[in-house]
Amino acid sequence: MNLLETTSMAVKNLTANKLRSTLTMLGIMIGNASVIAMVAIGEGAQQFTQQKLESFGPNQLSVFPGGDNIGGLGDDNKQIVLADAQAIATLAPAVREVAPQINSNLQLSHQGRISKVKVTGTTSGILYVRNLRIARGRFFDRIEQRQNNRVVILGATIARKLFGSKNPLGQSVDMNNLSFQVIGVMQTKGAFMGSNPDETAYIPITTMSVELKGKQSPLGISIDYLELSARSRASVRAAAFQITNILTRRRGKKDFMVMANKSVQDMVSQVTGALSLVLTSIAGISLLVGGIGIMNIMLVSVTERTQEIGLRKAIGATEEVILTQFLIEAIILSVAGGLVGMGIGVGGAVIVGIVTPLQPIVPVAAILLTAGISCSIGLIFGVVPARQAARLDPITALRGS
């Protein structure tokens, strides 16, 4: 018998027992679907995280007081001051924008509507550093900052809570018994990793220090931390080096910490990649279980077809022909189950993309690798029953068992 006839006979034997063949393929189907879905979701999660981080400032750096221990926020000797931010903006050529910040959780109210929000005292540099956009109105300028003006820009969610469908521009909101004029509303940004610009209000940093905080350090206006943006992704490391040198010279020691957003991106990418690998490995166990199922069913098939094997060998079928037929049956089961499983996995990934913000990505390499594994499983786990069938003694097999 040639290979085509052997394959045709193998297909007929499998289709004669449709239920058994379907149940045998089930393990491979589940395994392949799980692997494809996990790889796709893992890739999508990595891309989603990277895009979100970049949307908050692709070349962003942060400077915190206290060196490796960020617990010294109350120590005036460790506090970063506004003059430090101004020095960096002037002396660091790799830095494009600087956004010093003072943050506080305060209540905003307007005509009986109250909302407790994060209020950030900062400069207009935060628009570039955090990649923020104004939906209506404008941001405050340097003159309003120098004059400690009581102006505020509201996040999109805060504007809806306090004003509903009304236009908030020109209206007043109360903050710590002080009246602030709304001059702008931010575009919707969305929350990520504990930060939500939509629920943040922005006021001049001088107004925050003088009107709301009511205290300064002996060195000037104390700030909680600095956010900065390098001129390009390639200059992030140079910017960090320049910031470190400038602040160390000004302060006499390195009592601060510089952190690059790129480092966070790399760390998050490693974590999501490792998690994706673990989930894919766990899903891959289903492929092993499916292979064992194929071997068990094929062994049962050999036992049931003992007389058929004996008859074929008696009329001249060689061991190689019998071995090939059973191997082909095992491979057909694993490949068919693999193809169906891959289809289910891709379909599941598409559904996840529809119902969640993630956009799963199915790499071609993953599909090819999974297909190769499916074929290998059929070949590997089909060898034992195929060899058992090929080595049957024809006389013993004809007697039945």
DSSP 35-79: HHHHHHHHHHHHHHHHHHHHHT-TTEEEEEESTT-TT-TT-TTT-
Domain check: are 351 and 376 in the same one? yes
Q: Are 131 and 189 in the same domain?
A: yes
pLDDT confidence band for 268 (50 / 70 / 90)? low
- Least confidently predicted of 22-31, 60-69, 73-82, 242-251: 73-82
Residue 382 lies in a domain: yes
Whether residue 59 is contained in a domain is answered as: no
Residue 173 lies in a domain: yes
Token pair for 350: 């598409």
Please tell me whether residues 217 and 290 are part of one structural domain: no
pLDDT in tens, 296-336: 777 777 777 777 777 777 777 777 777 787 788 888 888 88
Could you read off the pLDDT of 161-214 as tens digits, one per residue?
999 889 999 999 999 889 999 999 999 887 766 678 899 999 999 999 988 886
The parent domain of residue 85 ranges over: 79-254
| Contacts with 54 (C-beta within 8 Å, 6 or more apart), sequence order | 265
Whether the per-residue pLDDT at 74 is higher than 50: the answer is: no
Looking at residue 98, its pLDDT comes to 93
33 and 116 inside one domain? no
Do both 32 and 170 map to the same domain?
no
* 339: in domain: yes
Residue 238 maps to a domain: yes
> Residue 380: pLDDT above 90?
no
pTM: 0.63
Going by pLDDT thresholds of 50, 70 and 90, the confidence category of residue 56 is low
Q: How confident is the model at residue 73 (pLDDT cuts 50, 70, 90)?
A: very low
92, pLDDT greater than 70 = yes
How many domains does the chain fold into? 2
pLDDT at 94: 93
Per-residue pLDDT of 220-235, as tens digits, reads: 888 999 999 888 888 8
Sequence-separated contacts (24+) of 194-200 with Cβ below 8 Å: 195/56, 196/118, 196/155, 196/157, 197/130, 197/132, 197/155, 198/155, 198/156, 198/157, 198/158, 199/117, 199/118, 199/155, 199/157, 199/158, 200/117, 200/118, 200/119, 200/120, 200/155, 200/158
| 96 and 233 housed in the same domain | yes
Query: What pLDDT score does 67 carry?
Result: 60
Q: pLDDT, tens digit, for every residue of 127-161?
A: 988 888 999 999 999 899 889 999 999 999 999 99
287: nearest Cα among 388, 383, 381 = 381
- Do both 92 and 233 map to the same domain? yes
